[in-house]
Amino acid sequence: MNANRALRRICATLAIGACMLVTAQAQELSFTLHEQLIIGDDEEAPSEYLLHYPQIVRTDSQGNIYVKDARSADVRVFDANGRYVTTVGKRGEGPGELREVFGMHVDGDDRLIVADRMSRRLTIFTDMGKSFTTKSLAEDGRTIAPRPILSLDNSFVLKYVKLFANPEGGPSIMDDMVLHTYDVDFNRLETFAQLDDIYDLDDPFLNAYSTVAGAVYVTTNGTDTIVLAPFVYGGYIYRYTRSNDKWVMEKLKGGPVPTRTFIPVSQKDREENQDIYRGSISTSGPTGTYRARIFSRSSGVAILSTGEILHFPFRTPLKQDFEPRAELFNQNGDLVGYGQLQFDNPELNGNARVMESIRIQWIDTADRLYLARKNGEGFFVLSVANLEISSK
């Protein structure tokens, strides 16, 4: 059977976890999202269902959905059918209260772990908030701000970059490590993944942007593999595999990307040119503020139950609609295929505001994707979708 026929036969399924692709050469594929559930799409619903922006999403062993909204200091819980269950935590400085939720995770024991940067602590809730314990977040006299927090076997991996005051004055000193593992009691075990493997730190814009929370997307299979995807996407994602008590890094080459991933722009450019403004970001580093118009970026990465990797890049041309795409890598790290990401709903596909807002926030054990997107009225919703992958 030739590769194309095999691909069509294997991928004629809605369950992406069953899509085991083996082909010698990457080819163009179709990636179609079939939405199963939407939270926040009814403006007349009670306030618990309405979202400003579903910033962090997790699921537990019962299928409950935990959502950290961008403007809240708590975590909302919905059941597997999208019905509101409860809210964990509230704004405040007392025990069990939260000020600035920077990281959130649900572990294998269904404990809700919340990292509060302002209160400088982790709060670990059990039984959906009925009880809790706390752990200091301060390390070496500084507060860390992990995003994300993910589970490994009997441990956790946290992504953050630490900045230290320069004793001689001037720009801060940056720790060049990105990933940090902790034991079950949140004592730090090891640090790995060099920042300059992922970003060109000689470029002033990338140097400044590399330390922000959204600079790198992170996913793991929960055991021995972690994948990083840089927001400013130059055609590579990075896989770290545990081998002989060490984390070994591989660069995985993705599909075609623009010749230039970004161009520096001025504040005047942003204010006067809407095409530049739509795809540009500003960031402040130790040596100033930098602005760039992004042509190629990532909107999320996920490891499937099969061990395959899904990456979701965006093309953001100057004078065309943004184009959400997807890339599929096999277990060996080879690119199997790439193509446009779309919904099975033509109305969504035809709405530029919806399509350019897509962010992949989580993948559960059944390989369902949880994505933030805007609806037709311009409000953010949380969508739960299956992904169909097929040959063209």
Class of residue 280 by CB neighbours under 10 A (exposed 0-12, middle 13-18, buried 19+): buried
Helix (H, G, I), strand (E, B) or coil at 276: helix
Q: What distance separates the 2 farthest-apart alpha carbons in the chain?
A: 67
Alpha-carbon gap, residue 294 to 5, rounded angstroms: 37
353-370 confidence digits (pLDDT tens): 999 999 999 999 999 999
In the chain, count H helices and then E strands.
Answer: 7, 31
The Cβ of residue 10 has, within 10 Å, a number of other Cβ atoms equal to: 17
Alpha-carbon gap, residue 302 to 311, rounded angstroms: 6
* Residue 184 and residue 155 in contact, taking contact as beta carbons nearer than 8 Å: yes
pLDDT at 313: 98
Least confident of 207-211, 285-289, 350-354, 356-360: 285-289
Across 300-312, average pLDDT: 97
Helix (H, G, I), strand (E, B) or coil at 349: helix
- Cβ contacts of residue 319 below 8 Å, gap of 6+? 275
Least Cα distance to 316 among 293, 350, 343 occurs for 293
210-262 confidence digits (pLDDT tens): 989 899 999 999 999 999 999 999 999 999 999 898 999 999 999 999 999 99
pLDDT at 168: 81
148-175 confidence digits (pLDDT tens): 999 999 999 999 998 787 788 777 778 8
CA dihedral in degrees (196, 201, 202, 206; nearest 10)?
Answer: 140
Helix (H, G, I), strand (E, B) or coil at 198: helix
- Segment 22-25 long-range contacts (CB within 8 Å, at least 24 positions apart): 22/330, 22/336, 23/336, 23/337
* Residue 197 and residue 239 in contact, taking contact as beta carbons nearer than 8 Å: no
101-155 confidence digits (pLDDT tens): 999 999 999 999 999 988 889 999 999 999 999 999 887 667 788 999 999 999 9
Alpha-carbon gap, residue 299 to 371, rounded angstroms: 10
pLDDT at 320: 87
Q: With a threshold of 0.75, does the pTM exceed it? A: yes
The Cβ of residue 250 has, within 10 Å, a number of other Cβ atoms equal to: 13
Six-digit token pair at 218?
Answer: 């992170």
* Residue 298 and residue 361 in contact, taking contact as beta carbons nearer than 8 Å: no
Average pLDDT, the chain: 90
pLDDT at 170: 75
28-84 confidence digits (pLDDT tens): 999 999 999 999 999 899 999 999 999 999 999 999 999 999 989 999 999 999 999
Least confident of 200-209, 277-286, 292-301, 306-315: 277-286
More confident residue, 115 or 3: 115
Phi then psi for 131, rounded to 5 degrees? -145, 165
Confidence of residue 21 (pLDDT cuts 50, 70, 90): very low
Alpha-carbon gap, residue 241 to 165, rounded angstroms: 33
